[in-house]
Chain A
Amino acid sequence: MASWLRPLKDTRLEALVFRRRALAGFLIIGASLVALGARFAWLQVSRHDEFSLRSDSNRIVTRPLAPGRGLIYDRKGVLLADNVAAFRLEVTPEQVKDMDKMLAALRDVVPLSDDDVARFNALRRNKHSYQSVPLRLKLSEEEIARFAVNRWAFPGVDVVPYLTRSYPLGQEFAHVVGYVGRMDEGDLARLDKGDYAGTTHAGKTGIERYYEDRLHGEPGYEQVEVNADHRPMRVLEGGVAPQPGENLYLTIDAHLQEVAEAAFEGRAGAAMAVDPRNGEVLAMVSVPSFDPNPFVNGIASADYAALLNDPDKPLLNRALRGGYAPGSTMKPFMALGGLELGLRKPEDTVLSVGEFHIPGQSRAYRDDKRGGHGRVDLVQAIAQSVNTYFYSLALDMGIDRLSTFMTKLGFGKPTGIDLVGESGGVLPSQEWKRGRFNEPWYPGETVIAGIGQGYWVVTPLQLVQATAIVADQGVPHPLHLLRAVQSGIDSKPKLVDPPAAKPSVIKNPADWRAVQQGMIAVVASGTARGLNDRFPYVIAGKTGTAERYSRTTEEWTMISSSPIERHQVLFEAFTPADDARIAVIVALEAGRSGAHDAAPIARKMLDAWLPIDQAEQERRAAETSGDASAANAGQP
């Protein structure tokens, strides 16, 4: 049958064929639908856990919550470091079409420094474009109001509240408390990344740095549902609240600190006050200081440069790192060494004629007084600061024994106070000189070491530590600044165990008595006489006046006309002399003499710590208990 002929159609057969084909088609359809159903079952049952997880990780983002930083108080509860609410501008780069244009327009509304913009751009590089980046911190109320009015013009820019660190007493405590600053790469390397995921600031200096672990607290987190554009939609249940850091109570007394700082009247130097019975640091002053508050939110580079270039170095913590020639303040320690080593007895005398010579050498080592002090014993030698006595003592002692004994008093190494960056000073010895200059030691250097001159460099911390050791009759109590901690605002502050005292460095109590008598005589009739007037307790002290420059240098000749410029002056003291409750040292970088300039500052500190009325109260308390015991004694 040729296909071009129009054939007859067999409709019945066609219907039959169609039904068969329709059935076949339906079987194919059914099989396909079953296959599709199987695919669904594989995805929804076999791989359900996997896709559930991916669905959740799509939408649930864990956001770290930064803990509140612990507060810092002085020993009596005066607030030294606070957290205050502030507002900052944050920008979500993703929502900003033209960043440069937006920033230019924003500058007309809210002042932005070039530093702000540079820091913003640096931060932006390390974040996703959907994460907001702080642009300006600490907005003023006026700036917030002005931005609020213009907000519609700046999509992607928000005012965000945050807590910022504030130091209410400002520069007075800048060197002790230190400050926090925005975390940098160094901080990130030092601190645990997970714990600091939500934290922007970390302690940079001072207590803020040393006790970072206690102050920081435990971070929490919250779970946030985000959409495909990473925009947070809502906070889900199941987060963990952050635990705020511990509040710290320092050993410092804010009042004493304030008095000491004021007494400097701006002159560069450092002062320390310590409780010799336990090593608590009561005051730690470094003048000049600086306001730590601008550092918290990023100090302007011009201001920072000004601080760095200031010739008086306000950023230098002189108490911790300042190097001073100890001068005559070493004499009580030398005397103690001489007695302890059996080289001198208290009653041994030395004739001071104004000059001292090493046998066989022509060079003269001078006394302060022309013609000398005559024949002096140990007490007089300390009281009048007789150089000859200590020249000969040092020569007898030799540099090795000298430095070994001074090591016991803590010289030549950091005191280990709870601050970062302490300097160890220089304790001269043969070994040190060979290591430093690769030169042998000369006897003349031993002679001047006896009066605290030459290579000696001490920090105010080391000096007050040695003074406190002597004050507590030879028992070293490690210096520390942390007195108590409080976890949670409702709990009571808990005293921190002070570092354990070390065994006494004095073998013979009579040795101590002799040195103490010498130091009492300094204040009673010696170089610092008059200092004990109208003070309820006996003060034991020692002045120090060291030349800032070697007499052979040009600087000395230039300033030799000004005795104030020429000298570094020091004073060390403790009181009550028999049962010391405070040891202080004062170091001034320029002054006439230790007695004239440093001692009055020390006296003001002692007045502030042990005022006359407090002494009066204690005297009366002692009298009543004495009466009671007398009455008891009279009964039987």
Chain B
Amino acid sequence: MFDELIANLRYRLIASLRKPRFDLPLLCGLLLLMGVGLATLYSASDLDRGTVGAQALRFALGFALMLLIARVSPLMLRNWTPWLYAGSVLLLVAVALLGEGRGAHRWLDLGFVRFQPSEMLKLTMPMMVAWYLNGRPLPPGWITLGVVGVLILIPVGLIAEQPDLGTALLIAASGAFGVFLSGLAWWRIGALLGAFAAAIPVGWHFLHDYQRNRVLTLLDPEADPLGNGWHIIQSQIAVGSGGLWGKGWHHATQSRLDFLPEHTTDFIFSVFAEEWGLIGVLLLLALYAFIIARCLWIAANAKDTYARLLSGAISMALFVYVIVNGGMITGLLPVVGVPLPLVSYGGTSAVSLLAGFGVLMSIHAHRKLLIA
């Protein structure tokens, strides 16, 4: 019996090596990205090993979570989806009632760990949209669209209420990407975008003053260079002074001398751009493009609609992070708290991102299996 057990384990080991549960190119891309992230963080934190150690620990945790999720079959994920979605929305309600945080109520303290439930939605939102669309005829009609709209707007409304408009928009986008990938007719997309554009003036009234300021600041940062415009101006100075080749690792004066605020978190891309120049930026963007492309390739090879839509939405959400963060630090978009994936310092974001990649790994590993 003991021999049998050994033989069984050995078989499973060999099988898992032969048919890896992870996608090697994607894994390499992620490891490379995390390496770049830690190196940049080490410089941006002014060689603070504590910060880098903490981030590495989170990467390790996220990585373990990724490998764990990779072993869960998409079928199981699909079955759990409504409950996970309902659970995370309930947590959002809990945050709205009991949450804590500076100014905005985003955090939930469970005693042993503090986390942002909104981060969970980054995963459960595309899951829910994919789950729902999976059961509907595609391309979706107005009714399907309406139901999806409700599914999206409930958590997004709760998050926007915190207020955390940046995260709310990102989560809304991840849901919307599911609908886009499901084959929603272009004219309907056009109509929706038109309605969205028409709603912007109405939405302006619901924005908080600080949020309006951020948008106005974007239009003319020099109007208040020491106040509202400080972030945008100092970030552009950091990026622009980096030049073609950059100032070199740990030579970013803008961050080392504290001119650039939030230089380990939201504005770490500026530090990278200052140190590595345009060449480094283009290489980093290429790395992101590679990871996104690989994710979309995995999505295209998935065997059912749920897996396809889920993995596709997660990939495209990743792209939104990069474009929003990059747009923010270069002064194209208003300052919203969107981290640069796997480079910015911050635990919840790294863990939720890696969990998302775990879902992709799982879908990749199970692409050959027939799913009922």
Contact = CB atoms under 8 A, between A and B. Distances in A.
Residue from A36, A40, A56, A59 having most chain B Cβ neighbours under 10 A: A40
A18 B330 contact: no
Nearest to B258: A228
Nearest to A32: B323
Contacts of A45: 243-244, 278
Contact of A33 (B177, B243, B288): B288
20 contacts: A7-B137, A11-B305, A22-B300, A33-B289, A36-B326, A36-B327, A39-B326, A40-B273, A43-B236, A43-B240, A44-B240, A44-B277, A45-B278, A47-B240, A48-B242, A52-B240, A52-B241, A54-B241, A58-B234, A228-B258
A17 B237 contact: no
B248 interface: no
Interface in B159-184: 177, 180-183
A226 B327 CA distance: 29
A192 interface: no
A26 B296 contact: yes
Interface string B343-369: 000000000000000000000000000
Contacts of B305: 9, 11, 14-15, 18
Given A3-B143, A43-B330, 9 more contacts: A15-B308, A40-B278, A40-B282, A51-B240, A52-B240, A54-B241, A59-B253, A225-B253, A227-B259
Given A18-B308, A22-B300, A25-B312, A55 B278 contact: no
A506 B115 CA distance: 106
A41 interface: yes
A55 B253 contact: yes
B322 interface: yes
Contacts of A50: 240
B285 interface: yes
Contact of A21 (B181, B281, B332): B181
A488 interface: no
B43 interface: no
B335 to A, nearest CB: 16
Given A17-B139, A50-B240, A55 B254 contact: yes
Given A17-B183, A33-B289, A48 B240 contact: yes
Interface string A519-537: 0000000000000000000
Contacts of B181: 18, 21-22, 25
B56 interface: no
Nearest to A6: B137
B319 A43 contact: no
Given A3-B143, A44-B273, A45-B278, A18 B237 contact: no
Contacts of A14: 138, 182-183, 305, 308
Contacts of B234: 58
A33 B237 contact: no
B141 A3 contact: yes
A229 interface: yes
Contacts of B66: none
B91 interface: no
A55 B330 contact: no
A56 B259 CA distance: 11
A19 interface: yes
Contacts of A55: 237-238, 240-241, 253-254
A59 B242 CA distance: 15
B293 A26 contact: yes
A30 interface: yes
A547 B96 CA distance: 101
A167 B312 CA distance: 85
A52 B304 contact: no
B236 A51 contact: yes
A37 interface: yes
Given A7-B137, A44-B277, A19 B300 contact: yes
Contacts of A233: 257
Interface in B76-104: none
B148 interface: no
B143 A36 contact: no
A341 interface: no
B340 interface: no
B282 A37 contact: yes
A100 to B, nearest CB: 27
B38 interface: no
Given A43-B330, A228-B259, A9 B288 contact: no
Interface residues of A, number: 43
A51 B259 CA distance: 13
A228 B312 CA distance: 43
Nearest to A5: B137
Q: Is the interface of A mostly helix, strand, loop or mixed?
A: helix
A44 B257 contact: no
Interface of A: 3, 7-9, 11, 14-15, 17-22, 25-26, 29-30, 32-33, 36-37, 39-41, 43-45, 47-48, 50-52, 54-56, 58-59, 225-229, 233
Contacts of A51: 236-237, 239-241
Contacts of B177: 25
A58 B278 contact: no
Residue from B257, B273, B285 having most chain A Cβ neighbours under 10 A: B257
A338 B141 CA distance: 130
Nearest to B293: A26
B108 interface: no
B123 interface: no
B292 interface: yes
B44 interface: no
A108 B236 CA distance: 49
B299 A18 contact: yes
B138 A227 contact: no
- A-B complex: 10 closest residue pairs judged by Cβ atoms: A51-B240, A55-B241, A17-B183, A227-B257, A228-B258, A7-B137, A44-B278, A43-B240, A48-B243, A51-B241
Contacts of B309: 18
A33 B293 CA distance: 12
B98 to A, nearest CB: 35
A33 B323 contact: yes
B151 interface: no
Contacts of B182: 14, 17-18, 21
Nearest to A51: B240
B316 interface: yes
A317 to B, nearest CB: 52
A80 B220 CA distance: 61
Contacts of A11: 304-305
A15 B138 CA distance: 10
Contacts of B300: 18-19, 22
Contacts of B139: 17
A37 B281 contact: yes
Given A14-B305, A40-B273, A48-B243, A229 B285 contact: no
A369 B312 CA distance: 129
A36 B237 contact: no
Nearest to A53: B241
A15 B238 CA distance: 45
Contacts of B236: 43, 51
Nearest to A25: B316
A262 B319 CA distance: 93
B322 to A, nearest CB: 7
Contacts of A228: 257-259
Given A22-B300, A33-B322, A44 B281 contact: yes
Nearest to B138: A14
A227 B255 CA distance: 9
A47 B258 CA distance: 22
A11 to B, nearest CB: 7
Nearest to A30: B289
A11 B134 CA distance: 10
Residue from A20, A43, A226 having most chain B Cβ neighbours under 10 A: A43
A15 B302 CA distance: 9
Nearest to A47: B240
Nearest to A19: B300
Contact of B292 (A15, A26, A39, A229): A26
B292 A59 contact: no
